[in-house]
Amino acid sequence: MKPTRDLDELCYSFIYETSWLCDYEVATDELCGHVGMACVALARDMPDLAADLDWLQPLVFHLNGSVRGKMAVTEADIDQLKACLQRYRVEVAGAVKGFVLPRGEPPISNLHLGRSAAKKAIRALVRVEQEGREIPSIVVRFCNVICNVLFAITLVINHRRQVTEMPFESLSYTIKRPKTVYGNDAPIHE
């Protein structure tokens, strides 16, 4: 496939590229949209979480261009995001007893879909590296922290709304649950 010369028929400059780099950029674009929807949905009832997402959303777009273009995320950004994660973990300590089903009132679904988009971005980066392009570790680390932060925010929202998380017990895997930062035997990640 090749783009036509008609710019109205071209949604993204690199959309016909065969490298996984374009898939990474599409996944981070999706992630940015989910973060934005969650930010707007939380603005009235949980302004502290909305403010964190408001800060995070442009960083997701900076992350988007940090492989093909100039590095636009920093160690300070990761440190600040990890500080948010620690705050959330303290707030929900003891609230999770294992894996949970991804459900809840809006914007819970956007946050869970955002987690999936972050995972897609990481998987695309694995492929980009296999193609021979060096991936700065900060990009992969930041994607992982974003995924964990979005999950933690779902727990905080449900906790504040007094929504009981729906446990999920896998029939496919036996899981040994280490003691975690959530203050019980829950997994560190979902």
Per-residue pLDDT at 14 exceeds 70? no
Q: Locate tokens 């492929």: which residue?
A: 127
Q: Which of 18-27, 86-95, 104-113, 165-174 has the lowest mean pLDDT?
A: 165-174
* Count of other CB atoms within 10 angstroms of residue 136: 13
Q: End-to-end CA distance of the chain, in Å?
A: 38
How many Å apart are CA 137 and CA 144, to the nearest integer?
A: 11
Can you tell me the mean pLDDT for 107-130?
98
Q: Model confidence at 17, in pLDDT bands (50, 70, 90)? A: confident
pTM for the whole thing?
A: 0.87
Question: In the chain, what percentage of residues exceed pLDDT 70?
Answer: 88
Look at residue 11 in the predicted model and tell me its pLDDT. Answer: 55
Alpha carbon separation from 161 to 79, 156, 178 (Å, rounded): 28, 8, 27
Which residues have a Cβ under 8 Å from the Cβ of 29 and sit 6 or more positions away? 61, 64
> Per residue in 86-108, pLDDT tens?
999 999 998 887 789 999 999 99
Give helix 137-160 / helix 47-65 axis angle, nearest 10°.
160
Rounded (10°) angle between helices 108-130 and 137-160: 170
Strands (E), the chain: none
Give the integer Cα–Cα distance in Å for 6 and 151: 41
Domains of the chain: 13-160 (1.20.1200.10)
User: Would you mind telling me the total number of residues written for the chain in this entry?
Assistant: 190
Name which residue leads in pLDDT, 127 or 170: 127
Q: What digits encode the pLDDT tens for the residues 23-74? A: 999 999 999 999 999 999 999 999 999 999 999 999 999 999 999 999 999 9
- SS3 state at 1: coil
Structure confidence at residue 188 (pLDDT): 47
